[in-house]
Structure 1
């Protein structure tokens, strides 16, 4: 009888140990998955922005130049609206505000609000290869019928070719806006999770701009490296969008350029958070945000935060000859 009780006790103990190991292993696996998803979210955001910055200010040399305001070397010109300087060059941005697609302007800056970035360029359809000089915006929409304040500025340039595939008369203008949406809350495993999403608004015919792409992004900051006449197109320093707006024009290679037209590099900073409610910090702590400020979190916070920064060159603004 004693042997039976001992065997039962040992069996229960082994079952408890096995159960504990199973739960612990599951928690570790979920924690690893959550951190991997967090890293992937940051990489996707940075890759999307970095790839589009390679196009900023592009105009295909194989097409004849078109008349327009603010023409730059390479034939880039503002064909959208001469009164909106957001389209005068390949790069534009808003500090602590989400660019207003309808008005073509930056709203008033919000307190601790994320920044937004505008990337403009022209298509190169004559290559005839999908993905090279594509006429699609960041939401994969064709831009033939793009409008601004009621004007279809790409329609005549598109000509009569088949939508998305036909040969265009002139390159089509593409404009993509990157930023974060408002914070939203959902429930997972009985716990509430609040986050923002990385979003994009293209100039294709979408009635709902700023579509969500990547969740779990809580902060987005842009700093712009502006070249001066005597810096050989190397950025003198990095500025916020508001500071860029306040810079005076400078003459480079005999041509007067605004500060936005002299942006040769963009620093992108993102802060992401884990979204698995079962994963949490083991104690209170802090992390450094994109402004260099230490942010504290409590031990009850289920999210793990991480900041990442990259600097991208703006190829089409690096046009100086030596």
Structure 2
């Protein structure tokens, strides 16, 4: 039987940590904390890279949706009257962009050959400039710059009221400006066509406009899309990138300074290129191939159904290529040493991804539904 020795002190049975044991425990704890911090930081950086890549892809999708919707409107002219008896010499004038002037010309006619209206860029539903920004002052394309984005010009007509256009219609251009406002300030080609009160043209032309009534004749809408260099702030750092910009004919469309004509829409883009599907025979409306704007301008006219049609009149599809670019932060954490990732640019040339950022290519083809017409 155990016998307690009253002379043995209880403190002699207790032991503390030695300095070596304490240091080892602290080192193990520090390693665990560092590993956890590293995993957290790596996970956070990886998530930020995923977010930036997702945002870049969403930018491409948004640009495609906006431009694609506009392309599908190109060449639209509202059906405001029953077609007249077929006329072989003017086939297609009753349901096709642009509306032809009367003979003799009425004040409400959109075209005016005596003043040279409209310019070439507005004579068809679609038009384009290679490697440069469409000049809103002269309605012409600049000299081609290989490294610059293209510009697309999209034209159509609308019979929306001003009140409808402010909410759901197409009366507003891409900047949100009314193309035919009451009074002055919009496109001058719409000045007479927008009037809808005070008589029945052409005997007694309308003299005033009422906002909640449709214009007496469809009014002209023109939107132009391209890219412009911008500077944006990302994580409190300035980043140089490009923005999708647009210019519309709703406010001061002629004589406007280039710096104020184009309004930014969304940034984070690298390039924007267009090519145009042109059909060459009257047996099909399928494009024979896709051409740049410069190549379209060089194509000869083709006789279709007895009419001589220019190349821009025979465009039935538009191929849109968008390059979006992530902005700020390292979005390519998993790149292998010596094996950088690559991408295809809009000319199908393989290039290395830029340091830190990721460039994503998106390509879609949009049919010009208002050019897909058959004669019976």
Give the TM-score of the pair, scaled to structure 1: 0.87
Equivalent residue in structure 2 for 1:168, among 215, 225, 234: 215
Q: Which residue of 1 aligns with 2:201?
A: none
Map Cα deviations across residues 60-109 of structure 1 (whole Å, 9 max, x no partner): 002589xxxxx845152273753611010100001111111111000111
Matched, 1:119 2:166: no
Matched, 1:102 2:132: no
Q: Which residue of 2 aligns with 1:195?
A: 241
Q: Which residue of 1 aligns with 2:33?
A: 15
Check the 8 A contact 1:157/1:169 in 2, yes or no.
yes
* TM superposition shift of 1:116: 0.8
- Which range moves more in the overlay, 265-274 or 3-12? 3-12
* TM superposition shift of 1:263: 0.4
Superposition map of 1:209-220 within 5 A: 209-220=261-272
Matched, 1:319 2:373: yes
Helix, strand or coil: the match of 1:214?
A: strand
Across the two proteins, how many residue pairs are aligned to each other? 313
* TM superposition shift of 1:119: 0.3
Map Cα deviations across residues 260-307 of structure 1 (whole Å, 9 max, x no partner): 011000000111111132434635343211011222346xx1211111
Q: Which residue of 2 aligns with 1:68?
A: none
* TM superposition shift of 1:187: 5.7
Change (3 A) 1:75 1:226: closer
- Which range moves more in the overlay, 183-192 or 45-54? 183-192
Change (3 A) 1:290 1:50: same
Q: Which residue of 1 aligns with 2:325?
A: 273
Cα distance in 1 for partners of 2:266, 2:39 equals 34
Q: Which residue of 1 aligns with 2:362?
A: 308
* TM superposition shift of 1:22: 1.2
Check the 8 A contact 2:179/2:250 in 1, yes or no.
yes
Check the 8 A contact 1:193/1:277 in 2, yes or no.
no
Check the 8 A contact 1:57/1:90 in 2, yes or no.
yes
* TM superposition shift of 1:132: 6.1
Cα distance in 1 for partners of 2:321, 2:358 equals 17
Equivalent residue in structure 2 for 1:177, among 214, 218, 224: 224
Check the 8 A contact 2:152/2:224 in 1, yes or no.
yes
Matched, 1:253 2:305: yes
Which aligned segments of 4 or more residues in structure 1 are displaced greater than 6 angstroms?
A: none
Check the 8 A contact 1:92/1:260 in 2, yes or no.
yes
Cα distance in 1 for partners of 2:78, 2:230 equals 41
Q: Which residue of 1 aligns with 2:119?
A: 84
- Which range moves more in the overlay, 13-22 or 40-49? 13-22
Matched, 1:294 2:350: yes
Change (3 A) 1:83 1:168: closer
Change (3 A) 1:190 1:62: closer
The structure with the largest alpha-carbon Rg is 2
Q: Gaps spanning 5+ residues in structure 2: where? A: 1-16, 84-91, 100-109, 196-207
Check the 8 A contact 1:145/1:205 in 2, yes or no.
no
Cα distance in 1 for partners of 2:322, 2:342 equals 16
Cα distance in 2 for partners of 1:132, 1:257 equals 34
Q: CA RMSD in A?
A: 2.9
